[in-house]
Amino acid sequence: MNRRDSIRSLFLGSMAGGLALESCVSAPEEVINEKIWQYQYGRTPKEAARDEALLGQQYFENTELNTITRLANLILPPTPEGTVEEAGVPEFIEFMAKDFPGLQTPIRGGLMWLDSYSNRIFGTDFIHSTEDQQHQILDQIAFPDPNTSNQKQEVQFFSLMRNLVMTGYFTSAVGIKELGYKGNQPNVWDGVPDDVLKDHGMSYDASWMPKFVDQSKRNDQAVWDDEGNLIS
Amino acid sequence: MQIIENEKKYDVVIVGSGAGGGMATKVLADSGLKVAVIEAGPFFDPANPAQQTQLKWPHESPRRGAGTTRAFGEFDMAYGGWEIEGEPYNQIGDSQFDWFRSRMLGGRTNHWGRISLRFGPRDFKGKDRDGLGENWPIGYEDIKPYYDKVDKLIGVFGSKEGMYNEPDGYFLPAPKPRLHELYYKKGAEKAGVKVMPSRLSILTKRINNERGICFYCSQCSRSCSVYGDFSAGSCLIFPAQKSGGQVDLYVNSMVREVTTNDEGKATGVLYIDKEDRKEYRVSGKVVVLAASACSTARILLNSKSPQHPNGLGNSSNMVGKYVHDSTGSDRMAFVPDMMNRKRYNEDGVGGMHLYSPWWLDNKKLDFPRGYHIEVWGGLGMPSYGSGFDPNSLNKYLGLKVGGYGNGLREDVKKFYGSVMGMSGRGESIASVDNYCEIDPTTVDEFGIPVLRFNYSWSDYERKQAKHMHDTFEEIIHNMGGVVLGDKPGKDKDYGLLNPGRIIHEVGTTRMGSDPKKSVVNEFEQLHDVDNVFVVDAGPFVSQADKNPTWTILALSWRTSEFIIEQLKKQNI
């Protein structure tokens, strides 16, 4: 058994019988296996079983997913840096609705509102209206009233979708690259770069310098004198 | 259903594998004793690829790090949380105590903040200072040699500061502060708040050949795969096994009670194997409880026998009493000078590189005891929630909030790294009216009666939280920042978090020389039963404005030496 197979069996073995779930469309087994394989990151057997069950269901109808995808593209239109599809935003929103069922009704209801409103104003549902018409609708709901904490339903719905799209994008590989996050890899921290310090008018106190790690000696085993002074 | 007897006889049966249990395992096994460690959760090794979350990206998960299954986000290395399915606990009246449990080898040490502070001389004698609570029966001088040994064995970075109540130790060198920490230093020092390098049990320098050195990924909360931070499994239990110690691990084993004989002495423990759901008995000459303050109290209270009708070690009626957590309150700041930051890898160690120890004299204040300030922020890895309200900070710049389109990308990039926060963590006063006890109406899924809590804060803690917010606001103002959110008022207990939220609960089996007023003696030995010891935070008389782990470790080492000596002398 290679590593891939053993992790796969870790996921699958624990979940026999966990797939029959209520009222949701079940995906074919190969599709589930493929999805599970995408995700391997230290789950307990119970967590992995839960994930497998969720990944095996579909909550949103395909038409709803199309509207979510369109909405996501209006919130973050494609650029050379990355698209919401490359960031897996629609799949992420589909998953979150199952992972956190409290999202289901606000999103489904909001999508319905979007179509009703579009039908009323433009005589066609949201996804079939023109881009200009879609912008006109969003202009009504994308700016929360700064003077109230009780935003209207459609405004709350759009804020929720914007949050999910933004977080979905900026937690994706393309989004993280665009943001410019440089970490999550082995390195040696030796302080804020000099030019940054200078830009911010900051410096490291001379009196503090002896307290800091001399990274050239990080591999030398620590030795102290009797007073607790590090001498290696 | 029959109880299944384990044939093996142990010198010591240890319940729990966190800081206290891990240290007892190491010291007792190293001395040649035969040890059984009973852990309620599964085996865990941060180096095991199937369990590892360190260095995973948010997009390796379908929920991008959201906390649906783990309270601090799904990459956090605590199997459990404030709520665990099948393991309820209850409240008395309108009490709101939140009880965090982590069910795994190493317990909560796999995810904790690694803040490793010694209690100072004043911390052991609080009553002498203000007449509140109780003094410890021991002082700093009793525990200092053990703090020294813990520093050298486990490793802690810090700096020698020569402050009386923040005793120096054997420190590894500290990492340089991050940018937002320099802003904090500037603002805090202007407000007269002392700032110094933090003290975390993370290896900034080699300490031995078994453990790796920190490679600055900032993910200690995920438990380090090269053992560069302190977790009880990787730094105490595995080394005890590797050096030839006789250590048997019983995982997924939920202890119900300590068993006793006709003389009332402990003979071992009864546990439920979570896999086959059968009851087992494992016996030993000595039982060491390290299940965490509240779990240990629960086990003792559930260990009723004709010899101990009120529960084991509870002739004083003190088991479960005086439970107390640290006070805690937080505030965030937006620092316009930190907008549009140049990007570089600012991960650093897992946690803050500097902090503020308690710096004031209570004689001039309207509350007793103090708090320390933790600092957070920086160019961290995005996770679920990053990008929410992408431009809400625009309101401080006179710009439009909300909208859609690619301007949002620029907003997120503009504000990245410009928000930071502060957390006050302080000392509460232990009170006999704050307690946990067995709830006769409820059992967990293993049939074990559960705890119910009665806990309320007093004005001592509320006034301290109010002071925290006054301080935070002054510091934020001094560093040119904008305070985010409204100042929590009296109706919100000045922002004081629920007890249990800081996860420093201690005091349920408190230490004392009077068996009528305390549960264990200064060697953490039950007054009532000489072969039962408690080495978690239960014996803490008071919590100090420090994190409890370093003191749990030092006391557990001291107690373990006492056990070895007593066994040699055949006293127990």
- State the average pLDDT over residues B195-213: 97
A229 and B160: CB-CB below 8 Å? yes
- Chain A residues touching residue B393 (CB < 8 angstroms): none
| Cα pseudo-dihedral B554, B559, B565, B570, rounded to 10 | -170
The answer, yes or no, to whether residue B443 has pLDDT greater than 60, is: yes
Q: What are the structure tokens assigned to A228, written together? A: 């607790």
Q: What's the pLDDT score for residue A3?
A: 37
Q: pLDDT averaged over chain B?
A: 97
**Residue of chain B nearest A6, judged by CA positions:** B50
* pLDDT attached to residue A36: 65
pLDDT exceeds 80 at position A52: yes
Q: Do A192 and B152 touch (CB under 8 A)?
A: no
* Pairwise CA distance, residues B236 & B239, whole Å: 5
Residue B453: pLDDT above 80? yes
Residue B236: what pLDDT? 98
Calculate what percentage of chain B has a pLDDT beyond 90: 99
pLDDT of residue A24: 43
Q: How far apart are the first and last CA of chain B?
A: 32
Residues of A in contact with B219 (CB under 8 A): 184
Nearest to B292 by CA among B9, B15, B50: B15
Res A7: pLDDT: 36
Q: Which residues of B touch A166 (CB under 8 A)?
A: 386-388, 390, 408, 412
Interface of B with A in 134-173 (CB under 8 A): 148, 152, 155, 157, 159-160, 168-173
Give the helix ranges, DSSP H, for B479-548.
none
Are A222 and B155 in contact (CB < 8 Å)? Answer: yes
CB within 8 Å of chain A, chain B residues 68-87: 68-69, 74-75, 79
Q: Does A8 touch chain B (CB under 8 A)?
A: no
Tally of CB atoms within 10 A around B389: 17
Nearest residue to B505 via CA among B149, B76, B53, B82: B82
Residues in chain A: 232
- Mapping DSSP onto H, E and C, the string for B360-428 reads CCHHHCCCCCCEEEEEECCCCCCCCCCCCCCCHHHHHHCCCCCCCCCHHHHHHHHHCCCEEEEEEEECC
Q: Is A80 on the interface with B (CB under 8 A)?
A: no
A127 touches chain B (CB under 8 A): no
List, for residues A122-131, the tens digit of each pLDDT value: 999 999 999 9
Q: Does A44 contact B79 at a Cβ distance shorter than 8 Å?
A: yes
Instruction: Return the residue of A nearest to B407 by Cα.
Output: A76
The set of residues, in sequence order, having a beta carbon less than 8 Å from that of B97 and lying 6+ positions away, is B91, B323, B325, B436, B453, B454, B455, B498, B499, B500
C-beta of residue A90 within 8 angstroms of C-beta of residue A172: no
Helices (H), chain A: 3-13, 29-38, 45-55, 62-75, 89-99, 104-122, 131-141, 153-170, 173-179, 194-199
- pLDDT at A14 > cutoff 60: no
CB pairs A-B closer than 8 Å: 256
Cβ contact A230:B172 at 8 Å: yes
Chain A CB contacts of B388 under 8 Å are: 163, 166-167
CA distance B351 to B354: 9
Contacts of A163 in chain B (CB under 8 A): 387-389
Check residue A28 and give its pLDDT.
63
Distance of CA A71 to the CA centre of its chain: 16
Q: Answer whether B179 sits within 8 Å of A195, measured CB to CB.
A: no
What is the value of ipTM here, to two decimals?
0.95
Element (H, E) at B559: helix B549-568
Of A178, A183, A214, the CB nearest to B346: A183
A221/B65 CB distance under 8 A: no
User: Percent of chain A, pLDDT > 90?
Assistant: 80
Probe site for chain A from B196, B213, B404 (most A CB atoms < 10 A) = B404
Mutate to test the interface with A, among B53, B57, B59 (most CBs of A within 10 A): B59
pLDDT digits (tens, 9 = 90+) for B303-349: 999 999 999 999 999 999 999 999 999 999 999 999 999 999 999 99
Alpha helices in B233-281 (DSSP H): 238-242
CB contact under 8 A, A204 and B204: no
Say what the pLDDT of residue A15 is.
35
Point out the residue among A44, A55, A197 whose CB comes nearest to the CB of B62. A55
Cβ contact B75–A40 (<8 Å): no
Mean pLDDT of B486-499: 97
Average pLDDT of span B355-370: 97
The C-alpha atoms of residue A194 and residue A204 are separated, in whole angstroms, by 10
According to the model, what pLDDT value does residue B202 have?
98
pLDDT per residue as tens digits for the range B61-97: 999 999 999 999 999 999 999 999 999 999 999 999 9
Of A35, A51, A184, the CB nearest to B57: A184
Chain mean pLDDT for chain A: 88
Contact B207 A221 (CB under 8 A): yes
B186 touches chain A (CB under 8 A): yes
